[in-house]
Structure 1
Amino acid sequence: MTSCLPEASAASQIPVSVDSAAASGDGPSDAPSAEVQKDPLLEAFEAQRAAVQADPGDFNKLVALISAADKLGDVAKLREVYDAFFAEYPLCFGYWKKYADAENRYTSPEAAVAVYERGVAAIPYSVDLWGHYASFKQTIGASSEDVKSVFERGLNFVGGDYAGYGLWSKYITFTARQESTKAAAQIYRRALGQPLKDLDKCFNSLREFVHQHTVDEVVPPEEKAGLEAQAKSKKEADAAAQQKAAEDAAAAAAKAAQEAAEQADTAAAAPPEAPPAPMALDGPSTPGAEPQRSAEEMPAAAPQTPPPTASGAPQDATTSAEHAAMPPPESAPSQPQGSDADQSNALPGDASADAAAAGAAPTELAAAEACAPVDMIVREDDVNEAWLANCQAVYEASKEEVGRRKAFEDAIKRPYFHVKPLDGAQLLAWSRYLDYAEERGDNTVTTHLYERCLVACAQYHDFWARYIRFLEPERPDAAKEALRRAQHIHCKAQPELQLLAARFHERHGDLAAARTAYELVVSKLAPGLISAVLAFVNFERRQGNKAAACKIYDDAVAAAADKGSSSERTYAFLVVSYAHFLVQNFKDVDAARSLYASALQQAPGSLSLWEGAIHLEENLDAPGEEKARRALALYAKAAGSDTVLSEAEREDFSARAAVAADLHGTAQMVEMAERLHCARFRPTEKLTQPPSSSSRPSSGQKRPADATAAGASPASKQARPADAAASGSMSAAYPAASYPPTVPVAPVAGASADAPAAAAAPAYYGQAAAYPGYAGYYAPYPQPAYPTYSYPQY
């Protein structure tokens, strides 16, 4: 990364002493000998600038350089370091404010305004920066229209931000103070239509605002007539509802009175209940009580004088007896104090009157209240309430959207930019939040959310790639602008983003820009990135430029070869890929053979290169004998004793030569390959001895995990060398090159339990089982054991 700071100017190089010039003969000999002291602040600044030039992208060093320049008070140096800082980190809104304050302090308000304009252009989705800009405009005495323009521009970007109420509040306060309360009320209503975190606070503030002002101070004239009609309709609806409530109350009162009267009549018609007769007791009810005596034992009662009648004559004996037999009357309850005169005059036992009086009072009171007249006059408060009701409907709709977004917003702890990486939970929250916005289908809301995300996630190329994919189908120009910001500002040192930019430019026909991006990656950002080399090669292939594609391969292969054994796997992979590219796209077999020949001289111990060269010959569309002759020559060279391959690898190639001869060559070639193999690799003592009975697994014993113990070739057990990874990568280009495969032998139904299980053997070992004539050649290698069958005896 190149430095954004110029070299130290000659003016800043202050000489240490004056007599140093005299000592060199360049000045007068009588110069004063006193040394000129350096400014310590300037020395600190120069030291920090040197550190930044060595590492221009270090955030802490740039911040320290800004601090040193600010202490100097030199505007030129201050501008120099701030420009260097914002070339790397333009999303730090706090430093834009510091820069503007410095310009205002050292130069003029106009210079500070210019800095603010640069800041809001670099980070337009910053609520704080727009708020600082608008406040600064008010501080320097800008016109009302100028300040209002800043607020409106800011709200176009961040008005729908979850944390955007701060800017709305400042705008409302400014408008209510400078313009009119009516305009402030309209801004309130606009704010209620946004999914703000402080939406409740906004609505409560609006309610207080409306109650403190008249209709003419809140409602626009063009809306007043409609609101009056709305208020009148509401009053009419309230009157109709009140009338219905009165009718319902009157009906309920009548029904209650009727039910009370019916209950009273029913109670009056019922006969009085006789008092219960005294029960005779057989004995004393309590211990020690006197027993009841019979009538004969009772003493004679004294004669009683009957009470006089109404005429003054005494009653007869019958009447007197009846009177004596009746129980004494209970004392009547006393009349409650404070009762009405009507209740005191009511006859005893008049139940219907009492019930009617008790049930009718509350129902008649409710009916009277329901029948109270409704005020049908539309007043100012009614109009204000109607306007506020309309705002409340908007508020409730926005409140629902806030509830849907709250979980996403709460998971985002750092919505601003910082050089420190975000944790995985916040990255996942942003990803899910974008999924939610895209599913809703509102492109404006989704674009705003993407821009918010790319402030906090500006250094993550995958979010930029997602944003570009979102914009490209319908808004390719906007996608191109987003790519420019990512490619040249925020992710300019990331090869993944540069490769994305190259593919984008190619799709849109800008081949020069695509080629520039590829060259930047393969030459500076990631010279050893194989995926970038292959992408660049295929780009030139699509343009039909074989020479350019081959040059890219040649440079990459040469760079890998220069690194020696540390890059052997990369070297082998590039050579195999290069040869495949030549054959598949340009049918240039001779160039591919020449490439393999030189590569095998460079890295003769690379198994991947031998495999690739043999694979090339075996898969060419050529006559069988010629194909076999070339392949057998490579097999023989690989299996020869002059190679640096391991013994197991050489034996493997020698055995495979016989299979290749059988597939593509003549009988003489097969016989020659077998003879050569037997001559090169004699059977060992271990392989010639038959397996003992103790080494055979029993019917309930598992086979050993070691393939060699089961009788497999040592080559099948031999681990791949260091270039196995490159061979695996080569297999992606050559699907048929994964060799040697293993062929498991399936068990035969009904086999004897004593028979050993068949070992998994390479394909060329299975060839001997298919062709019995190979038994002599494959004698040193244990063959798959076939089960024996035992037939029942009859």
Structure 2
Amino acid sequence: MIAPEAMEAVQPPPETVEATEENGGELASEASEAATAYNMPLAENEEEDGELPADFDRLWKLAHDNPQDFSSWTDLLQYCEQESHMTASRRSLVAFLARYPLCYGYWKKFADLERRAGYTNKAQEVCVQGLKAIPLSVDLWIHYINLLLGTLNMNLAESSQRIRSAFEEAVAAAGLDFHSDRLWELYIEWEKEQGDMRAASGVYDRVLRVPTQLYSSHYDKFKTHLNTHAPKDVLSAEEYGRLLEECKQSHKIEKAEQAEGEEEIPPGEEKEPTEVNQNYLVSSHQEELIPKMRELLLARREKVFQDLEGEVRKRWNFEDAIKRPYFHVKPLDRTQLRAWHSYLDWEVRILFERCLIACALYEEFWTKYIQYLEPQSLDEARAVFRRACEIHLAHKHTMHLQWATFEERHGDLNEARRVLEALETSVPGLAMVRLRRAGLERRAGRLDESEALLRDAVAQAKETPHLHAFYSIKLARLLLKLCKNPSKARGVLQEALEISPDNSKLHLNLLELEVSGDPRGSAEGVQLCVSRALAAPLSPRTKILFSQRGLQYAEDYGTSVHSVLTVYEEHQKLLKELGNKKRGAENGDNEDPDKMLKGEDGSALPATPQPPPTMPHVPITTPPPPMMGADMSAGYGYGGWYQVEVITLFTNFIPLI
């Protein structure tokens, strides 16, 4: 299990900076902020290197203008390394590792840079911060331990204790990795160098329970270790005592069996003693017992080894399919992604951490890890969201939206708000983020906050007409359906139409708002809405739809037949003005797809030919009963155009209600 503190990730520093003519100023501020983020104070004598190299400003700006361009960063780092400029290299590495903390090789370069410059403590700090960002890096742990071995005064007792503590932290964080063999071997060899063979045996016993790539090699070395040292030198006092007692009992039985076969001696002769005390057994027959003790020891370890071999065999095919276990910005091929998916479906948490080194830029793996952790620990799942969104997927809005949903689902609305606000700040202009924020407040019962967010979005989008119309429709729906304030909703849509008079969706939503009101008081509003649409720069087809919708409303809710006929006459004038293209639909040509009626099931039915509509000489106040399935409008002399266009209207408009 990886310690929680080892999983903490540092916050990335600001991404952009303007270079100054003096090669200092804001560049120094950037380096200072980045160093603070990593808890790595800049060295006191950092500026002794003098002015920055000639091309530093240019390469620095290229990297910060496009921080997701990995090659720009590597060009900057390579240049600084070639120039051997301490200040430039330090600043570049701090900024780079804030964005790409999984590149363990650059943490090693950073530590070596500080060590060569004589900043031993800073070199150690760099390794510690790197291991917080990538605790599963066996290479970085080994580099850190070798740094300690090369810089600590090993004549001091506390130095050995510090090295041993570092080894323990390393195997706790990365020792379960399939490729952690070098770390275990380094630990064992170090204990041997200290002359503590018992401690070395303890490390052997631990690694022989971990499925690693070189498991068989560890077992062979352990057998050699046992065969080259006396059992009392390699075993703990407890195990040695138990093993000794077992061998003593076995030795007694063997001696007793031998005594049964011996010949009796004459009276007066003394028999050789067969019983000896434990001290004599240990001192006089130790060499005789050692082979037996080793045999028993290996028999016990053999059972452990067989179990380990079975675990390794289960993992081998998965591991063999993984060709790139380290981080890189280059995409993984489909085979590699499938291999990780298959492995994750089978393995445990340690594999998720390994996977997220190579696949840190793929949302699907972070999501899968969170789904695995959520039933076990919300805090651990939340920590993974934070790592994903604040470092590796800072510009992937879908991951942030998942995080906000996670927090809202588990009742932490303030954190959900914070996540969405931070996302909108870092990636401005995403409509779905603003809608998610408004939806969060609406679900929390804070309609006033939801309304305020949408109004703010409407105000900010005035320079973008289509986005302004989109937000206006969303706001109008909230005001109409939830706030029960049709007057405000109407005002929002009317204001939007002043900016976008050619937006048919705004006209349609305003029309439906009017239509949804009380018929006894909405007739004037409906006809005004229709008139506004007919005067707007809309397409002929759209204008005909609005005119037909007004005619339908007049027929359904008109208080007199005269008002219906007046609207009908206006509609006929509109058809004549717009030409014969739409009038052709009245002829019911079955061969033209545009003249096909759509039934309720979406199927197309031939339209029944109708004669050209004629106005009755005397208004019909009581129309004859319509035929089964016919439209009531036929009583007023309306032709097939009515059925065709009204159905088309319902097919095309996006209703407000």
Alignment-mate amino acid for residue 435 of structure 1: D
In 2: Cα distance, 1:584 partner to 1:12 partner: 57
Aligned residue for 1:161? Answer: 177
Q: Indicate if the aligned counterparts of 1:575 and 1:599 stay in contact, CA closer than 8 A.
A: yes
Matches of 1:220 and 1:776 in 2, distance apart?
106
| Identity across matched positions, percent | 30
Mapped contact 2:458–2:468 kept (Cα < 8 A) = yes
Partner of 2:101: 90
User: Contact (CA 8 Å) 2:52, 2:88: kept in 1 or not?
Assistant: no
Aligned: 1:712 with 2:596: yes
Secondary structure (helix, strand or coil) at the match of 1:582 reads helix
Could you tell me which residue of structure 1 aligns to residue 3 of structure 2?
Answer: none
Partner residue in 1 for 2:225:
209
1:471 match: 373
Question: Which residue identity is paired with 1:647?
Answer: P
1:230–1:386 CA contact under 8 A, matched in 2: no
**Structure 1 residue identity aligned to 2:553:** A
* Match of residue 493 from structure 1: 395
TM-score after normalising by structure 2:
0.74
Corresponding residue number in structure 1 for 2:276? none
Query: Which whole-Å CA distance do the structure 2 matches of 1:218 and 1:128 have between them?
Result: 29
Secondary structure of 1:770 counterpart: coil
- Whether 2:344 is the aligned partner of 1:434: answer yes
TM-score (norm 1): 0.62
Shift in Å at residue 67 of structure 1?
Answer: 3.4
Post-superposition CA distance 1:405-429 (Å, at most 9, x none): 2233222222111222323332333
Residue 625 of structure 1: aligned partner: 520
Q: Is the 8 A contact 2:23 2:57 kept in 1?
A: no
Shift in alpha-carbon separation, 1:191–1:414, aligned structure 2, 3 A:
same
Match of 2:572 in 1: 678
Distance 2:456 2:537 in 1: 27
The separation in 2 between residues aligned to 1:768 and 1:43, in whole angstroms, is 89
Equivalent residue of 1:209, what SS?
A: helix
Distance 2:635 2:602 in 1: 19
SS of match in other structure, 2:596:
coil
Q: Which of 568, 587, 596 pairs up with 2:484?
A: 587
Aligned to 2:541: 648
- Contact residue 45 and residue 69 of structure 1 kept, 8 A: yes
Q: Quickly say closer, same or farther: Cα 1:562–1:524, change in 2 above 3 A.
A: farther
C-alpha contact (below 8 Å) 1:556/1:574 kept by paired residues: yes
Counterparts in 2 of 1:675 and 1:234: CA distance versus 1, 3 Å:
farther
Q: 2:52–2:87: 8 Å Cα contact kept in structure 1? A: no
8 Å Cα contact 2:17-2:61 kept in structure 1 = no
Q: Give 1:373's aligned residue.
A: none
- For structure 2, the residue ranges without an aligned partner over 5 or more in a row are 1-12, 26-48, 255-286, 614-625, 645-657
Among residues 563, 574, 596, which one is paired with 2:471 in the alignment? 574
Q: Distance in 2 between matches of 1:404 and 1:655?
A: 71
- Which position in structure 1 is the counterpart of 2:38? none
Counterpart residue type for residue 676 of structure 1: E
Rounded to whole Å, the distance in 1 between the matches of 2:162 and 2:459 is 63
* Contact 2:56–2:88 under 8 Å retained in 1: no
CA distance in 2 between counterparts of 1:386 and 1:767 reads: 102
Partner Cα separation in structure 2 for residue 656 and residue 211 of structure 1: 97
| Distance in 1 between residues matched to 2:195 and 2:442, nearest whole Å | 66
The structure that has the greater radius of gyration is 1
8 Å CA contact retained: 1:502, 1:518: yes
Secondary structure, aligned partner of 1:604? coil
Matches of 2:121 and 2:97, distance apart in 1: 20
The residue correspondences of 1:459-538 to structure 2 (distance < 5 A) are 459-506=361-408, 513-527=415-429, 529-538=430-439
Contact 1:215 1:381 in 2 (8 A): no
Instruction: Supply the distance in 1 between the matched residues of 2:471 and 2:417 (Cα, whole angstroms).
Output: 21
- Deviation (angstroms), 1:544: 4.8
Secondary structure of 1:163 counterpart: coil
- Structure-1 separation of matches of 2:93 and 2:603: 70
Corresponding position of 2:454 = 553
1:371-407 C-alpha deviation (Å, 9 max, x unpaired): xxxxxx9832222122122222222222222222223
State the distance in 2 between where 1:628 and 1:230 align.
Answer: 104
Residue of 403, 407, 424 corresponding to 2:334: 424
Distance 1:156 1:743, change over 3 A: closer
**Is 1:602 matched up with 2:462?**
no
The question of whether the paired residues in 2 share the 8 Å contact of 1:224 and 1:383 is answered with no
Which secondary structure does the structure 2 equivalent of 1:43 belong to? coil
- Cα contact 1:744–1:760 (8 A) shared by 2: no
Residue 192 of structure 1 is matched in structure 2 by 208
SS of 1:418's equivalent in the other structure is: coil
2:552 aligned partner: 659
Q: What does residue range 71-470 of structure 1 map to in structure 2 within 5 Å?
A: 71-141=82-152, 142=154, 143-227=159-243, 379-437=289-347, 446-470=348-372
Which residue matches 1:344?
none
Assess if the C-alpha contact under 8 Å between 1:674 and 1:777 holds in 2: no
CA drift at 1:193: 0.6
User: 2: CA distance between counterparts of 1:461 and 1:773?
Assistant: 57
Alpha-carbon distance change, 58 to 783 in structure 1, aligned in 2, over 3 angstroms: closer
Where does residue 49 of structure 1 map in the other structure? Answer: 60
Alpha-carbon distance, 1:473 to partner:
4.4
Letter in structure 1 aligned against 2:313: G
Q: CA deviation at 1:580?
A: 0.9
Alignment of 1:635 with 2:646, yes or no, is no
Q: Which whole-Å CA distance do the structure 2 matches of 1:533 and 1:758 have between them? A: 46
Alpha carbons of 1:643 and 1:111: their partners in 2 closer, same or farther (altered >3 Å)? closer
For residues 713-728 of structure 1, the aligned pairs below 5 Å read: none
| Structure 1 range deviating more: 63-72 or 147-156 | 63-72
Q: Partners in 2 of 1:643 and 1:606 — Cα distance?
A: 9
Give the CA deviation at 1:49.
Answer: 3.1
Q: Residue 562 of structure 1 aligns with which residue?
A: 463
1:779 aligns with 2:650: no
Query: Secondary structure, in 3 states, of the residue corresponding to 2:127?
Result: helix
- Aligned pair count reads 552
User: Which of 491, 494, 513 is the aligned partner of 1:616?
Assistant: 513
Aligned-partner Cα distance in 2 for 1:773–1:122: 73
Shift of 1:234: 9.2
Cα deviation, 1:169-195, whole Å, max 9, x if unaligned, reads: 111111122233232222112111111
CA distance in 2, matches of 1:591, 1:496: 33
Structural mapping, 1:14-25, within 5 Å:
none
CA RMSD of aligned residues (A): 3.8
CA contact (8 A) 1:464 1:486 kept: yes
The 8 Å contact of residues 52 and 85 in structure 2, kept in 1 or not, is answered as no
> In the TM superposition, what is the alpha-carbon distance from 1:128 to its structure 2 partner?
0.8
Deviation at 1:593, TM superposition (A): 0.5
SS at match of 2:394: coil
Question: Greater share of helix residues, 1 or 2?
Answer: 2
For 1:648, what is the secondary structure of its paired residue? helix
Q: 1:760 to 1:184 in 2, by over 3 A?
A: farther
Which range moved further: 106-115 or 87-96?
Answer: 106-115
Residue 163 of structure 1 and its aligned partner are, at CA, apart by 0.6
Residues 488 and 686 of structure 1, relative CA distance in 2, 3 Å threshold: closer
* Residues 688/450 of structure 1: CA separation in 2 closer, same or farther (3 Å cut): closer
1:140 Cα offset (Å): 2.9
Q: How far apart are residue 111 of structure 1 and its match?
A: 2.9
Kindly state the Cα deviation for residue 222 of structure 1 after the two structures are TM-superposed.
1.5
AA aligned opposite 1:707: P
> Which amino acid in 2 is paired with 1:418?
H
> Is structure 2 residue 440 aligned with structure 1 residue 539?
yes
Q: Whole-Å Cα distance in 2 between the matches of residues 387 and 628 of structure 1?
A: 98
C-alpha distance in 2 between matches for 1:194 and 1:496: 37
Q: Structure 1 residues 231, 673: CA separation in 2 closer, same or farther (over 3 Å shift)?
A: farther
